[in-house]
A and B are shown apart, each in its own frame.
Chain A
Amino acid sequence: MSARPPKISLDQVAVAFGKRIVVQDVSIVLQEHDLLCIVGTSGSGKTTLLRAVAGLLPLHRGRILLDGAMITRPTPRTAMIFQHFGLFPWKTVRANIAYGLAVQGRRDEDGTITRLLEVMGLTAHAMRYPYQLSGGMQQRVGLARALAVRPEVLLLDEPFSAVDAITRETLQGELIRLWEDPQRRQTTAILVTHDLDEALLLGDRIVVLCGTPGQVRLELEVSIPRPRTPQDLRFHPAYPQLRRQLWEALQEGGTPPQASADSPIRLEERD
């Protein structure tokens, strides 16, 4: 364990909608350049938690710190990628990617937009509108828009669940490639997904969020070395055991922790 101060820390976080508590007692610590995956059953509040980290939701209890400062509202240091892409239909691809910079009153000094268009293979589509693109292309725009603001923290909310399986693998591969780019050594990311393989492929660590209200059921270090690819992940010797652990944690998820007291060891299990 390094002695570096944490980049992001969630400290006994609870989020509520009105009187209904959606997420409870979540404590997670991320170091710089960590990529944390949050998996969970639907309704476990994983998206809610991510929106809280983005500063979009007020906390019911606890606190979220970014470099030691409380997050209470959205900051330009984080950028979010949405399951529904969240592109503006009336903006061209280029204008959509430039949106974050424009809205934060920042200039595109060194041709960031043009370079991102290139990296994402969107140069030929720069002047087209989102409806003219496939889902995979649209999410590339979403990814480029988030990267354009050079965020310190990247928040991905089920980014690839709305595209087909083949496109998903391509995009996952691209995300890994971007992630391992030395330019992005400063970036820390949280990715929410319900796809266990996606979590194992992308995450340095995986948190399993379960129950109502959602609580951390399992936190797991992914011991598979990088670079990983969607193709060879399944053949790594550590893969079956890790996937099984995740699966079992999710299976118990229906009941709150105190009710499953017959298996306390597995609950505490950490790598």
Chain B
Amino acid sequence: MNTPTVRSTPVDVAPPQRTAPQPPGAQLSHRLTWWLRGVSLLIILMLWEWYGRRTNPILFTYPTAIGHATLDMLADGTLLQALGQSLYVLTLGFALGTLSGGALGLLTGRSMVAAALLDIPVTALYATPMVALVPILVLWFGFGTSSKIMVVLLFTIFPVLINTMRGVREVDPRLVEVARAFCSTEYRLWIDLVLPSALPFVMTGIRLAIGRALIAVIVAEFYTAISGLGYLIVSNAHTFQTARVFVPVVVLMALGVVTTGLLEVAEARLAPWRQAQT
């Protein structure tokens, strides 16, 4: 076996590869991932600081200035008050949007009649830039909180609805047959099969909805009675306090990152069978 003279054809021996080739999307170790995330964040902050300090403070700002502004705004209570107002609108609108979107998605996914009834209106509304509807919402619901909640609801309902519907339709027909063969009732079919297999799709819908809900809050606060984080952005921009404009923006970013992260944790808890699947 080890005698090279036996070989009929000489073969160029390739140098041994240092690292085995990885398939695309191969997993990094947990620690390395977090280390790389930290490095990228640090580099962005340092570049921002360096460039921001060389720029007119009315036009741009830098991380340490935003930090100072944050402390000021925490001290005078404006930030927490605004955050409270925004979070109220956000959570209520988001909850209503995801719940109604999920419910309608389950209905249209399973019932062909509901699907036929709602198909075109849903697609049309999903494609509509929701901002265009805000003036009408103001007309219907006034400038108050209810109209803001409606804006968030409208922004969040469709990604959840469409993804849930798709999830319900993507149920493995072979497993439906398994359930039928074992004489499952329709109710048990939902519990054992439809809901668990739609869950990842619902989660994707909710993840999209989070991003859209954050947009919706600010849009609502700009275009209805001005309040919350949107108010902080507008009022500070008008007085050229650029560092203070960035404080609510950073808070919104943090909200998005944290909620998305929480959602991932929730998904891992709710759907442990998906962890090792590709």
Contact = CB atoms under 8 A, between A and B. Distances in A.
Interface of A: 51, 54, 56, 74-76, 78-80, 82, 84, 86, 88-91, 99-100, 102-104, 129-132, 149
B182 A74 contact: yes
Interface in B150-165: none
Interface residues of B, number: 21
Contacts of A76: 182-183
Contact of B193 (A54, A82, A88): A88
Contact of A129 (B175, B178, B197, B272): B272
A155 to B, nearest CB: 8
Contact of B183 (A74, A84, A86): A74
A88 B194 CA distance: 11
B177 interface: yes
A54 B183 CA distance: 10
A130 B193 CA distance: 15
Contacts of A90: 196-197, 271, 273
Given A88-B192, A103-B188, A149 B273 contact: no
Contacts, number: 58
Contacts of B271: 90
A103 B183 contact: yes
Contacts of B33: none
A86 B174 contact: yes
B184 to A, nearest CB: 5
Contacts of B181: 54, 56, 74, 78-80
Contact of A149 (B174, B182, B277): B182
B53 interface: no
Contacts of A75: 183
Contacts of B192: 88, 91, 99, 103
Contact of B182 (A84, A89, A99, A129): A99
A88 B196 contact: yes
A74 B174 CA distance: 15
